[in-house]
Each structure stands twice: as C-alpha cells, then as structure tokens.
Amino acid sequence: MGHYRFEVKQAGGQVASGVLAASSMAEAGEILRRQGNVILALSPSTTAKKSGGLQLSFLGAPSLKDVLNFTSQMAVMIKAGISLRAAIEGIAEQCQNPRFKDMLDSVRKDLEGGKQLSDALARFPKTFTPLYVNMVRASEMSGSFGKMLDRIVNYLAQQMETRSMVRSAMIYPAIIGIMAVVTTTFLLTYVLPKFVTIFEGKEAALPMPTKFLLATSAILVGYWWLILGVLGAAIWAFLLLIRTPNGRLWFDAVKLKTPIFRKMFRAMYISRGLHTMGVLVNSGVPMLDVIAITAQISGNALYRTMWMQVYNSVKQGKKIAVPLLKGNMLPRSVAQMIAAGEESGRLGEVLDDVSGYYSKELRAIIKNVTALIEPLMIVMMGLVVGFIAMSIVLPIFKLSSLVK
C-alpha cells in the first residue's frame, strides 16, 4: 500500500491537505471524491516511509519510558482540545528516539488513511502491548479517550516503578557476586602462583585446603581458555533452554521455589496480574479479552497456565473464581474476594483493592530481601577471601616452625 499527498477543496469551500494511504493513485482519488472533495492536487508522497509495522532498525528500540512519555503528552494534548492526528504529529516531531518517531509517523499516516488509532497501534505489538491496544479500543467505543489515557499512564507508571524496585533489589547481590568472582580469580591466578616456589618440594607438609587451592590455581592459569569456553557454552545453553516451553516452565518454577526470592516473585506476579485485570475490567474490555491479556503479561509460565485455565472456564460459562479456588497459585483469601466481587458486580473495585495491597506488600518484601542479602553476600565474600588467605598463610607458618 502506498501513500499519496493530496490537496482538496471540501464541500464547505475549505482547502485541506494531508497524506492518504491507498493501493493506487486511482483508489486514493476515488476515496477523496467519495468524501465530497474536489481534488486540487494528488501525488505520491516522497516522505512517507513504508514500515509495514516492521522494526527498521536494530538500535534504539522504544522503551517503556518512551511509551509512557508519549501517552502522558497525548493525554494532556487531547484534554486541551488538540485533534488526535495533530497531537501525534506534534509528539513525533519532538521525539528523540528515531525508531519511535518512525512508528508515530506511521500511526499518523494510518489515521489520515481512515484507520482507528487502536488498529494503527496494533501494527507495533512489541511497543504497544495488547493491553494498551485493547484499552484504546475500549475508549474508542465508549468515547472516553482522555480518561482512558490517564488510566494507561497510571498503569505504565506503576509497572515502571515495580520493575525498577525489583531490578534494584537484584543489582546489589549481582555486584557483590561479580566482585567475589573477580577477587577470587585474581587471588588464584596472580597472587597464589607467586607462592608456588616456596611450597615446591614440601607438598607432603601442606594442609589439604592449600593443596586444593594450588591445584585450582594451576587449572585456572593453564586452562583459562577452556574454562571461558565451557562457561560461555553453559550460558548459551541456558539461554536456549529457557526459550523452550519446558525450559521456561522449569525456570519459572525455580523462581517460585528459591529461598529469599520466592515471596518477592510471588507478590510481583500476583500484583501484576490483578492490577492488569482490574484496569481492563474498569475500562470496559470484554472479559475473555481481559483474561487472555492478563495471561499474556503475567511474566511466569505457571501463572500464565493458571489464567488460561480461568479463560477456558469462563468460556464454558463458569465463574472466574472457580478454577482459582481449586488451584494454589493465588492465596485462597484472594480467590474468595474475587468470587465476592463477581457476585456483587464490583469485580473491578475488588481487583484494584487486592492489587494495591500486593503492591504495598511487594515493596515491603523487596526492602526485607535487600536488607537480608547485603550482609549475607558480604559474609560469603569474606569467607571466600578469608579461606584463600588462611590457606596461603597457614602453610608458611607451618613450614617456618619445621625449619626451626
């Protein structure tokens, strides 16, 4: 499909111009004439870029922050009375991300071609998620676009905050772990080999920890290339494994069973799922679409399976709470509150309340996890370094006493 720049005189006598999407120039002219316009100029658009919804660049992929900023600006401009096409065009002109700018230009051209905004956004599913698109589609049917944009902004902001908190909780242990590995490797490959000449010919008098470290040091120095190769292959195999359905299921199950972190992950998945579901229910999205989208963004294969069981149950005419009460992925009290919300017709309010509670609990758990991990990692690093240091120093004292 091509894009054609036009200039027409409308039925009221006003002159208008823009870009129209059509399969040919003849079709573009026919569309304009059917709208009651007199065509003054019509030519292929040289500035229109055919993206077809494909990502044109591998660099600068739009982030969640880009989408949040775009939605916030559009909400303000729509409330100010600016047309949707003009709002998107203005935001695109100020966009710093070239890839996102191309997307917004494509969305604007689709609007000029007569498409709905939800259909235009749906062409970029990696940037505008099904949740985003369905909320926009619901607002198009209800006529409450401005209010819906505010809901989307609040949802995206909370998702960014949750993601930031979880990442912050994981960064510190990762840094300490890397420092421990680097320090240990330095001691074994640079410091310990300098003591080999001291211990030569006295291997029988060396304690077992020292012998173990000397052997480890020799392997690291002599076969570092093989170790790096094996480590790289192991990481590559792990990444391939978690991309398979069974591998992802295993990894997601491990996250829910790992001590210290399991409560954090459980609270995060419950909060994300219920918050998404509540936002969609309050936005007027059909229930089956609500559950399907909730399953898609759950972030964990086990919770995705749970929500798909709910989807199949609702499709058969049953209540949402029926499979939730039978399973063990949600606390029974949460499933009972969802059942009460269904019976009273206040499901959206109940979901908002429960997701708000778990959001607060997630913050508290993250603080507790961080407070627990910091001293634990420091102690572990101290034990490793201390073990290496004592394995080096003790034989020296022992050998010196034998000489005396």
Task: Specify the pTM.
Answer: 0.70
**pLDDT of amino acid 212:** 87
Mean pLDDT of 312-339: 90
> Quick one: pLDDT at residue 85?
85
**Lowest mean pLDDT segment, chosen from 10-14, 47-51, 92-96:** 47-51
Tokens of 35: 């709208």
Question: What dihedral do alpha carbons 196, 200, 205, 208 form, nearest 10°?
Answer: 40
- Spatial contact of 1 and 109, defined as CB atoms under 8 Å apart: no
Residue 371's pLDDT is what?
Answer: 81
Residue 19 has pLDDT above 90, yes or no: no
Q: What is the mean pLDDT of the chain?
A: 82
Binned at pLDDT 50, 70 and 90, residue 310 comes out as very high
When pLDDT is cut at 50, 70 and 90, the band that residue 236 belongs to is very high
Question: Sorting pLDDT into bands at 50, 70 and 90, what band is 336?
Answer: very high
Query: Kindly report the CA angle at 244 between 242 and 248, in degrees rounded to 5?
Result: 45
- Tell me which residue has tokens 């494509």: 106
Distances (CA, A) of 328 to 294, 306, 324, 347: 18, 9, 7, 21
Per the CB < 8 A criterion, the answer to whether 302 and 256 are in contact is yes
Of the listed ranges 129-133, 162-166, 261-265, the least confidently predicted one is 162-166
The residue that leads in pLDDT, 141 or 110, is 110
Beta bridge partners of 2: 22
Environment class of 225 (CB within 10 Å of its CB; exposed 0-12, middle 13-18, buried 19+): exposed
C-alpha count within 13 angstroms, C-beta hemisphere, residue 378: 6
In the predicted structure, residue 334 carries a pLDDT above the cut 80: yes
